[in-house]
Structure 1
Amino acid sequence: MTEIISAIEKIAIEIYEAIKTKDTGKVESQNASGDVQVKLDVISDEIVEKYLLNVSSVREIISEEKEKPITKNSGKYLVAYDPLDGSSLIDVDLSVGSIFGIYENDYKGSDIKAAVYVVYGPRVEMVIARDVVEMFRLNEKTHEFYFVKELKLKEKGKILAPGGTQKNWYPFHKEMIDNFFKEGYRLRYSGGMVPDLHQILNKEGGLFAYPATTDKEKGKLRKLFEVFPFAYVYKKAGGEAVDGYRDLLSLDYENYHDTTPCFFGSKEEIRKVLNTYKENK
């Protein structure tokens, strides 16, 4: 595991340099999920692949940008990753990130053993979830990450990040979100999964919601690359992560690029989500 974390540190530094210096335009292709790629998606994917395939403990990797995994002959771990989540935000200079789920045996939620994400913003921060959730920050002069703090969620927060196209929300979901705002929750939503979830963790509580909608019954966010890793982070930080009915880490997958509705947050917010969805099942 230490070997993988060390490789991710190098990956983060190289991707950050690419973000600062490389072309942010689009390419004439789509990723495996049908999203239009920007050049930095492709560059970032190549960087991750270069480092992870050289880690002896990694048996297989799969990228959100590719249809199928790349398998080696040996190694213990499987790594599913989104090399540059939120890349469409780069041309307006908003924070973006990388997400890594480290699995053993298979890519089911129950098989995830650690998760790492990186935020590329005014500062580069890396969060590692194993037994606890720890945040590190990049010293750009020495090219080293140093420990900042452990991240823990309180029982209840005050930040709300509601995703999905609102006109396609189900009425009961809209009512739930409206009620959170009536209680005094503050809107904090950039459209970038990594910075939005990172903010809730740093502010010690709140709710990130990306529900099923009338046009996307299975949600938009991908289980292996985005949802399972962040579910692992939030649960290790003392929070919860559900699809509206079940613990996200209890879910299986059929296709590498399966999606699911997802809610991440403090225990109090998730309790309200579960109660709302149970009443409207």
Structure 2
Amino acid sequence: MPNRLTTLTRYTIEEEHRHPGSSGEFSALVNVVATATKMIANQVTRGAIAGALDTVSSPAGLPEDVAPLRRRLDAITNTIMLTETQWTGYLSALLSEEMSGIHPVPVTHRRGKYLLAFDPLDGSSNIDVNLPVGTIFSVLRAHEDAREPAPGDFLRPGVEQVCAGFTLYGPATMLVLTTGSGVDGFTLDREIGAFVLTHPRMRVPEDTSGFAINAANERFWERPVRRYVHECLDGVEGPRGRDFNMRWVASLVADTFHILTRGGVYLYPHDTRSPICHGRVALLYGANPIAFIIEQAGGCATTGDQRVLEVRPDRVHQRVPLIFGSRNEVERIERYHRAPEEGPNFDTSLFGTRSLFRPAQR
């Protein structure tokens, strides 16, 4: 390995040295999480071979009609994150998308001063078609008293995170990390088995000509989102005066990494399908860590009505709308949400703005 490359271990130790009095527990925790994601990367790259000989039950009541490979890897990756981190003495409790409640560190292990929330396999529906997936994690400080961990310990706004990151399992395995002083990206060097710093000080461009959204849900979007997307699709002849590109990977980590490297806006907005469920992205182990990373890289993250990192959670598996990316575009979308009745009408009747008849040719 060239001397100019910095391993994650060296990176975290050097960060600790910048804070006199640090115990070293935080850097050790980050490296433990990184080790768990390396193990997950190995399972993901095995594809249908992973866990093929094991009997794996569906985690958190996952329906049995979900593809078997997805069921296996959801369970395997969740187990890896639990077993590789709970014994370290750095954590008090864990929260996973694959578990209905929190997981206090067993009393047989020493409990530490941090809480870990994670989605062990974001985008797992992509597994069956061999598209990118990832792991998302968020670290909070545990309460200082010695009481038994409770779900309420996790119910804090995202501004209280001390660390957030995600691992992207693609052609290369990438780890993106923030501890509140910028965002750095690491690539797994399989020859030495270590993450090395390859993308220092990642920044989201303030302007962009790209956005990511699931266009199949348009009929459920609120007016501000429809207005924004239609203006982009109108291209150079529309009010924006330029052409935009649209993409959708259905993997939060993949779209986030694309925005960190090339700019763009990601929209998973509130829709009208359910008056009870206001959003689709898990707040504590999805929206919060991604928002923390994006803001530290110079971008913005909003629910449409509120800064994501200021949302006060009321339950551990709460879901919210999520819009993030290049600052100027996100701020435009926020302005549209503040004035929802402005903009064009969206008449989808048969002979409204859409017609069976072509315009007259000249």
TM-score tier by shorter-chain length is over 0.9
How far off its partner does 1:169 sit? 1.6
Say whether residues 1:194 and 2:253 are aligned partners.
yes
Say whether residues 1:12 and 2:37 are aligned partners.
yes
Q: Work out the CA distance in 2 between the residues paired with 1:46 and 1:159.
A: 37
Root-mean-square deviation (Å): 2.1
Say whether residues 1:84 and 2:107 are aligned partners.
no
TM-score (norm 2): 0.73
Q: Name which of 56, 60, 69 aligns with 2:93.
A: 60
How far off its partner does 1:42 sit? 0.3
Counterpart contact for 2:59–2:74, Cα < 8 Å: no
How far off its partner does 1:171 sit? 3.6
Asked which structure has the greater CA Rg, the reply is: 2
Partner residue, 2:18? none
Counterpart contact for 2:57–2:75, Cα < 8 Å: no
Residues 24 and 263 (structure 1), Cα distance of their counterparts in 2 relative to 1, 3 Å cut? farther
How many residues align? The count is 280
- Is the deviation greater in 32-41 or in 156-165? 32-41
Counterpart contact for 1:163–1:211, Cα < 8 Å: no
Deviations 1:209-266 (A, max 9, x none): 1101111451111001100000100110011111101110101111111000111111
> Secondary structure in 2 aligned to 1:38?
helix
TM-score (norm 1): 0.93
- What one-letter code is carried by the residue in structure 2 that aligns with 1:19? V
Q: Name which of 200, 220, 224 aligns with 1:168.
A: 220
> Secondary structure in 2 aligned to 1:145?
strand
Q: Within 5 Å, give how 1:68-147 maps onto structure 2.
A: 68-72=101-105, 74-105=111-142, 106-107=153-154, 108=156, 109-130=158-179, 131-147=181-197
> Secondary structure in 1 aligned to 2:82?
helix
> Secondary structure in 2 aligned to 1:84?
strand
Q: Work out the CA distance in 1 between the residues paired with 2:178 and 2:218.
A: 32
Counterpart contact for 1:60–1:69, Cα < 8 Å: yes
Unaligned runs of at least 5 residues, structure 1: none
Deviations 1:121-169 (A, max 9, x none): 1000000111110000001111111101221112112220114722322
Q: Name which of 256, 265, 268 aligns with 1:207.
A: 265
Residues 32 and 260 (structure 1), Cα distance of their counterparts in 2 relative to 1, 3 Å cut? farther
Deviations 1:62-81 (A, max 9, x none): 10000111113621111100
How far off its partner does 1:91 sit? 1.4
Q: Name which of 78, 84, 87 aligns with 1:51.
A: 84
Counterpart contact for 1:123–1:137, Cα < 8 Å: yes
Counterpart contact for 1:33–1:64, Cα < 8 Å: no
Task: Report sequence identity in percent.
Answer: 25
